[in-house]
Amino acid sequence: MSFSYETGSPVLQDVSFTCEPGKMLALVGPTGVGKTTLTQLISRFYEPQAGRILIDGHDLQKVTLESQRKNISPVLQDTFLFNGTVAENIGYARPDASMEEIAAARGGIV
C-alpha cells in the first residue's frame, strides 16, 4: 500500500509485508520513516490511497469500524491508569464485565 498525509508528499510507498498469526513483528527504522503512520493505518485512523491492508484476509476498508476497533488494541509505551481500581481500569471498555472476565483478561491472575 501507499499513503501520504498531503498530496505530493508520499510517506509510505509500495510497502508490503505479512505478519503471520501468533508472530511478533518489530518495525525498525530512522525517525520519520513512517513506523507510527503504519500503526495508525492498521488502527484505521487514516486510509491508504493505494493498495490494501488485509487482516485475516479481510480488507480493512470493508469491515465495520466497530468490528475493527473491537479486535485491535493499541498498547502505548507510556502506560496510563484511570483514577480507580485496577479492575475498573482493565474493564473500562466493558462496564458490565464480571470479575471472572476481568481476571481472565489479565491472564487469570486475581
Binding site for ligand ATP (CB under 6 A): 5, 11, 29, 31-37
Sequence length of the chain is: 110
Residue 12: count of CB within 10 angstroms of its CB: 19
| Pick 22 or 32: Cβ nearer ligand ATP | 32
The CB-of-55 to Mg ion minimum distance in angstroms stands at: 21
Residues within the interface to Mg ion (CB under 5 A): 35-36
Q: Which does 80 bind (CB under 5 to 8 A by kind): Mg ion, ligand ATP, none?
A: none
